[in-house]
Structure 1
Amino acid sequence: MKRLTLFAIMVMLGTFGARAATTKVFREKSFNDFLKGELKSTSLSNEGKLFPAPAAEKVAEAEEGLIWRIITRPDGALFFSTGNEGKIFICEKGKKAQVYCDLEEVAAFALALDSKGVLYAGASPGGKIYKIAQKDKPEVFFETKQEYIWDLLFNAEGHLFAATGSEGKVFRIGPKGTGDIYFETPEKHIMDIMFLSQPKDSGLFLATQDKGRIYRVHDKDKAFVLYDSGADEVRALAEGADGFIYAALNTGKGGAGGPSQPTLPAQLMEMIKKESPSGDEDSGDSGESEPAPQLKLGMPMISGKKSTIIKMDISGYVWPMLDAPEAPIHCLAYDSTMKTLLAGAGEKGKLYRVDDLNKFSALLSADEKYILSMASAEGGFYYGTGETAVIYSLNWKDRSKGEYISSAQDAGSAVKWGLIRIDADIPSGTSIKYATRSGNTNEPDKSWSDWSKEEMFKNKQGNILSPVARFLQYKLLLTGRNEAIYPVLQEVTAYYIPPNRAPIIEQIEVAKEGKAQPSPRQMIMMMMNKDKPEGSKPDQKPGGAPSESGASTDAKANSNPQKVKISWKVNDPEGDQMRFELQFKGEDETVWKKIEDKLDKSNFDLSTAALPDGRYRIKVIASDLPSNPKSSAMESELISEVFVVDNTPPKWTEEISYKAVDKNSIMVKAGVEDKSSIIASAQYSINAGDWYVLFPEDEIFDAEKENFSFLIKDLDKEEAAITLQVTDAEGNTLVGKVLVIMKKK
């Protein structure tokens, strides 16, 4: 009978989906997820699948920084040019690479072999083409008088074509070294040229920079723009199966004009200045040698960069193939053995394989930063790197080993790590191992733990043995049997548990509802009428017509709702579900009293009707118990500022009285006091008529005790009822009346 593990039960019950300081996960399963890591010797399909890459075998290396161009000789030997010392190397089968020729110029971006296997090199700057029939014996074959030579190519008749910059010219040179301009474009640079093997009479194809266009040149000075890409450059061309043309397009800033120089990454821009040999008879009157011009390689790719690959036929019909995940594309080649297109791109040494529209893979990642050159031959497929000059060959039949290292995964705080699980197809005879390390810096450094011991996944899961830390990195080692049988991984999930941290109560507010303090409108009206004679009628009534009880409609007697609204803000670091308890205590008391202990909302309406008048505080206790075991649940508390409970109206300190001033006028006097709140407003009415705003003797409501003295004129009746209404800040109202009897003569 099969048994469910505790882990399996937790997964089935959805424990890991709960918002709590319990198990959490990070998961990687897409192309973009895995691309953040280091592919090393693994391939990553656009579907997000990881599998062992073809083995990359080191063929040659040189103590130089860059490999600009690779070509293969029929006997299997390789010629390659390097930077930044103008050296050209030869690597014959079974031998180490050695210098074949050291040019005076900084670089040879272009190499070509004639039908007899003789090497030709296009040097920059200066635009000389060298014929190098023997080791260390370069001879000037032709001078283009251009700044750059970007490509060299022989046709079937033995004519050499040279693509140049910065005037956008193609030269045709005969076997004896004489030549002329074959075609001139309005663009500044011709980056690549190509003849198609089928159909053979299709003409010469040009790729330009400044405006990224593809030309088809039928004959001398006769050409047709086959495709205007709108990009800054068409970097490279490659012939695919059935006569299709592939092109790599790079865009920098975009906009009118484009870049004025060939586009290269910023790290490739700093070229070494080389001086021409001393003793040159034409060096000038001073007799000193003049330095050769410094090679300037133009603008780097900048923010907003974009690279794409298209496929087109000789008629000009275009199909988009790939929006490159990384830019710029440095080189492009078609591997006829595997019938696939390969592109070196970006600044992390990526080699991309493109099989069809939206069907591609990041084939591998070189140890070096750039893949700058490629060559396909019957003997194999080769690529050259930048940062360190190395040439590798691809062994498509060897997928025995693959290594992948993830990016640093951020848990947000120091956590304890649990299981790592994979979703993968692992055929018999293949395997996937893992190792992990952890640390507290966002980039792995010496402070991180060592890699754990490499372990085999058991039932596609294993324990993470790295110590408690904020960041985790995992490494996968995939072992295959042959070119067709190897493991394929689709998903990696790692589990962790953060420490349960107490919730944070940020603030408590106690809002007193329904206070009888004057509204803003009332306060404005009161200020407008403050300077009028006592007893005068205001410009606008403060509360409209009085009710039958004589109370104003804006400040009704006993308008205190005897209720406060308590609200609070809580932040829990783990996002746990909260439970709250409310308590209260008077300022002169020592023991907190419970109001409610099972609240799940962050507000509460508290009735103060049963509370004696006084000063009180509220305590909020927040607990994350609903999301955690009782043994690990955390709580915190916060105490509010003091608030006042006042349910008692003011009292008279001086009963309402009056004194006749003349036969039609009286002076009314009264005094009030409230034990808990300040006096907030006052108004009076004559014979249940309109209400008149009244200010205390000191003309400001700011104390618990206020005295009133006001003059009433023009009393035209022998008897009048004067009603005085006084309200405190909590809405408690005191009403008094005095009967005035005037003696009329």
Structure 2
Amino acid sequence: MTKMRSSFRSFVRRSAAAVIVVAAGLAATHAAAVGTRTFTLDSLEDLKGGDLTGVAVDSNGNVFAGLNLGKTPIADATSVWSAVVLPDGAALLGTGSEGKIYRVAGGKVSVAATTDQMAVSAMAVAWNGDVIAGTFPEGKLFRLAGGTAGKGAGEKAKVFAELPGTEDVWGLAYDEKAKVLYAATGPEGKLYRVDAQGKAQVYFDSEEPHLVSVAVGEDGAVYTGSNGKGLLYKLTGPGRATVLHDFDADDVKAIVVAPAAKGGAIYAIANKYSEPFASPKRNKSGPPSPQPARTPKPGKGTLTRFSRDGVAEKLLSDDDTHYVSLGLGEDGAPYVGTGAEGRLYTVSENRVERLVADTEERQVGAFVLAGKQRFVATTDPAVFHEVRGVGGADAVWTSKVLDAGLRASFGRLTWRSGGALQFETRSGNTETPDTSWSTWSPALAAPGDVKSPPGRFVQVRARWNKEPQAVLREVSLSFVTDNARTVITSVGVKNQTRATKPGVQASGGEAPKPSSSVQITWQVDNPDQDEMRYRLWYRMEGQTPWRSLLKPGEKVSRTEYTWDTTAMPEGEYRILVEATDEMANPPDRAQKHTLESGVVLVDNTPPVFRSLALQGRRLRGEVVDGLGPVARIEVSIAGSEEWRPLFPSDGIFDEAAEAFDADITAVVPAGSHLVAVRAYDSSGNVVTRDVDAR
């Protein structure tokens, strides 16, 4: 079953605009028409999203044969926390399954030892090849004889040392020259130095709650990383610590030091989590959660390299997952295992990132990629993947599920590659491939037409079985979706001042502004994002024929139109809007839809005073409008611009003719004045008259 993957690197992220681009995460050649479109996969973001069995993808968008991994399940185990390789080539895996240590050799798995702890969180090969295992929650160190490690029948491991005040042993590192072991612990943030007899001394007492990683350089310098502030320390002697780097992170999860012959650089992975660190506790109802039990949500990880003189360079970063494991390959290149999606990445000296393994499990708990035994050990479930080599007959790249947005017919599949590859496709109408999907099509050895049936979703896969050295750089698949009709869902009118409800209209404040322009807008549902053309017509209420509202040859492609009604007769109108996709389809496929508006009032003529008289301070009159209703009457001393409202005689502005009779003593004081009276209709048209007050 194909796994769907989340995005990888922020620097290759794309923002999608068209419906199919949003769904598929790809670029389409013509996102504004229902004609031929193309899925194009040519970047790390595009090419890494599906299933990558035995193939690798780099940040330049190249797909090539990757690690060929075996698959040996670790029965009864859910999580792998640590691993070492014995001199005889056997691998020991420290697990979170009742603190058992498993031995894997020759494809066979056996229980090497039990500790009765929650998890074997760290291991190191130390004195005479003996294996030291650190555990939690009792902070003990166990010792397995190197020559016979794991060859027994899961005997009880012997306690080698107990570290005072320690509950968690997070990291172990053996100094071959000094013949001492270093243990990074919590919850007191102490680094212990342990001799061959199991005598432990505090080598460094930090101010952090946990020290979670430790490594030793060939020069004897000790490096340890903390949880809390995410500090990387360098120690040159007991208690002599300096902060090599302060990460913007919650922990420094792992550290490795390259041999001096390969540069002697220090590599560290640091993570920022969405939830605070919580040390795992015993769970009576089941095994502890894996690596370690901080949060079910992935964090954000970084890989940083430090030169011998301490210069830092960030090599990798991932905003979608934290990093769990760290190691060096045979060539000295760093590799990191992720805490989500079970992937293994590396980066070259020139900063080309490469996804080299994509497992079916959730997390890469530990790995070894140098020496005679190379493997990747995963969590949820626990699986031992032996590295058999690079490439092989099972090297298959499968794209993520590509979404055309609607049912589509598929055309020509093309690709760019160095070397021969074989391609297949399958299609269906469910987002996740299931039994309703078509079977994989016959293989194409050269670009050609796809034989998969129409469907909304499609996948492409490539095989390397003909030429293991082939490199895939780009895949393109042409398609045409069914032509879905665009539907107008609403037609509205803006810049209209007509009252929508009867009642007393507001007076005072800013007066309405009349306009002969009517702003018509409409909403559409355009499922296939066709390029649209719109036509508009009008008719007066009570009439039958529709008349074109547009000028001859005028084309409207936006969902709005301004109608100049200056020369139109007054009255109530309706607007008809038609949407057609004729610009994107041949005549026999074009579709259209129309929708009628509500009543639109066209009123460009102000009301008139049928009568207006002032007797003393008693103002009487009547205002009449051709369409109505009269919406507002106001009075003022001419030139004062301080208008006061008047109500009609019946108290409600709701008719085309409104009489008024009002005492305006409060507005017009004693003396001779010129009184201004103005009236508005519901469209904002205004008339003003003056009368003398003596």
CA 1:36–1:521 in 2, change beyond 3 Å: closer, same or farther?
same
| Equivalent runs, 1:386-465 vs 2, <5 Å | 386-412=379-405, 414-419=406-411, 421-427=413-419, 430-441=420-431, 444=432, 446=434, 448-456=436-444, 458-459=446-447, 461-463=448-450, 465=452
Select which of 268, 278, 295 maps to 1:248.
268
Select which of 197, 206, 210 maps to 1:189.
210
Select which of 153, 164, 169 maps to 1:149.
169
Query: How far is the alpha carbon of 1:47 from its aligned partner?
Result: 1.6
Query: How far is the alpha carbon of 1:164 from its aligned partner?
Result: 3.8
Query: How far is the alpha carbon of 1:355 from its aligned partner?
Result: 1.6
Select which of 603, 609, 624 maps to 2:561.
603
Instruction: Give the stretch that moved more between structures: 384-393 or 347-356.
Output: 384-393
The alignment status of 1:375 with 2:388, answered yes or no, reads no
Contact 2:421 2:462 in 1 (8 A): no
Residue 32 of structure 1: SS of its match in structure 2? helix
CA 1:507–1:132 in 2, change beyond 3 Å: closer, same or farther?
same
Superposition RMSD in Å: 4.9
**What residue in structure 1 maps to residue 133 of structure 2?**
121
Partners of 1:605 and 1:378 lie apart in 2 by 79
Contact 1:56 1:393 in 2 (8 A): yes
Partners of 1:78 and 1:732 lie apart in 2 by 91
Residue 126 of structure 1: SS of its match in structure 2? coil
Q: Kindly provide the CA deviation profile for residues 512-547 of structure 1, in whole angstroms up to 9, marking residues without a partner as x.
A: 7999xxxx9995499xxxxxxxxxxxxxxx9xxxxx
Select which of 225, 236, 241 maps to 1:207.
225
**What residue in structure 2 maps to residue 534 of structure 1?**
none
How many equivalent residue pairs?
630
Which one-letter code corresponds to 2:214 in the other structure? I
Partners of 2:328 and 2:487 lie apart in 1 by 60
CA 1:358–1:732 in 2, change beyond 3 Å: closer, same or farther?
closer
Query: How far is the alpha carbon of 1:344 from its aligned partner?
Result: 0.7
CA 1:33–1:246 in 2, change beyond 3 Å: closer, same or farther?
farther
CA 1:420–1:366 in 2, change beyond 3 Å: closer, same or farther?
farther
Partners of 1:378 and 1:506 lie apart in 2 by 70
Residue 627 of structure 1: SS of its match in structure 2? coil
Contact 1:106 1:295 in 2 (8 A): no
Residue 80 of structure 1: SS of its match in structure 2? strand
Query: How far is the alpha carbon of 1:332 from its aligned partner?
Result: 0.9
Query: How far is the alpha carbon of 1:397 from its aligned partner?
Result: 4.3
Residue 419 of structure 1: SS of its match in structure 2? strand
**What residue in structure 1 maps to residue 667 of structure 2?**
none
CA 1:632–1:182 in 2, change beyond 3 Å: closer, same or farther?
same
Q: Return 5+ residue gaps in structure 2 as ranges.
A: 1-26, 636-643, 665-676, 690-694
**What residue in structure 2 maps to residue 632 of structure 1?**
589
**What residue in structure 1 maps to residue 471 of structure 2?**
487
Contact 1:152 1:160 in 2 (8 A): no
- Rg comparison, structure with higher value: 1
**What residue in structure 1 maps to residue 317 of structure 2?**
323
Q: Kindly provide the CA deviation profile for residues 235-262 of structure 1, in whole angstroms up to 9, marking residues without a partner as x.
A: 21223253423333323359xxx95656
Query: How far is the alpha carbon of 1:163 from its aligned partner?
Result: 0.5
Query: How far is the alpha carbon of 1:566 from its aligned partner?
Result: 5.9
Contact 1:208 1:234 in 2 (8 A): yes
**What residue in structure 1 maps to residue 56 of structure 2?**
43
Query: How far is the alpha carbon of 1:271 from its aligned partner?
Result: 5.5
Report the TM-score, using the length of structure 2 for normalisation: 0.75
CA 1:251–1:54 in 2, change beyond 3 Å: closer, same or farther?
closer
**What residue in structure 1 maps to residue 305 of structure 2?**
311
Which one-letter code corresponds to 1:108 in the other structure? V
Residue 46 of structure 2: SS of its match in structure 1? helix
| Equivalent runs, 1:49-448 vs 2, <5 Å | 49-58=62-71, 61-92=74-105, 94=106, 96-114=108-126, 116-133=128-145, 134=148, 135=152, 136=155, 138-145=157-164, 146-156=166-176, 159-166=179-186, 167-175=188-196, 177-186=197-206, 187-196=208-217, 200-240=218-258, 241-252=261-272, 261=278, 272-273=283-284, 300=294, 305-324=299-318, 326-336=320-330, 338-356=331-349, 358-412=351-405, 414-419=406-411, 421-427=413-419, 430-441=420-431, 444=432, 446=434, 448=436
Contact 1:400 1:479 in 2 (8 A): yes
Which one-letter code corresponds to 2:103 in the other structure? I
Partners of 1:75 and 1:666 lie apart in 2 by 117
Select which of 477, 483, 497 maps to 2:463.
477
Partners of 2:647 and 2:54 lie apart in 1 by 88
- Percent sequence identity over matched residues? 22
CA 1:102–1:699 in 2, change beyond 3 Å: closer, same or farther?
closer
Query: How far is the alpha carbon of 1:604 from its aligned partner?
Result: 5.1
Which one-letter code corresponds to 2:138 in the other structure? G
Contact 2:79 2:291 in 1 (8 A): no
Contact 2:134 2:140 in 1 (8 A): yes
Query: How far is the alpha carbon of 1:84 from its aligned partner?
Result: 1.4
Which one-letter code corresponds to 1:311 in the other structure? R
Residue 456 of structure 1: SS of its match in structure 2? coil
CA 1:615–1:391 in 2, change beyond 3 Å: closer, same or farther?
closer
Report the TM-score, using the length of structure 1 for normalisation: 0.70
Contact 1:500 1:632 in 2 (8 A): no
Query: How far is the alpha carbon of 1:25 from its aligned partner?
Result: 3.5
CA 1:581–1:111 in 2, change beyond 3 Å: closer, same or farther?
closer
Q: Kindly provide the CA deviation profile for residues 28-64 of structure 1, in whole angstroms up to 9, marking residues without a partner as x.
A: 3222233333323221101222222121123673331
Partners of 1:617 and 1:568 lie apart in 2 by 13
Partners of 1:209 and 1:696 lie apart in 2 by 78
Partners of 1:220 and 1:679 lie apart in 2 by 94
Residue 52 of structure 2: SS of its match in structure 1? coil
Contact 1:369 1:385 in 2 (8 A): yes
Query: How far is the alpha carbon of 1:352 from its aligned partner?
Result: 0.6
Q: Return 5+ residue gaps in structure 1 as ranges.
A: 1-13, 263-268, 276-292, 527-541, 543-553, 685-691, 713-723, 737-745
Contact 1:437 1:448 in 2 (8 A): no
CA 1:679–1:221 in 2, change beyond 3 Å: closer, same or farther?
closer
Partners of 1:651 and 1:121 lie apart in 2 by 100
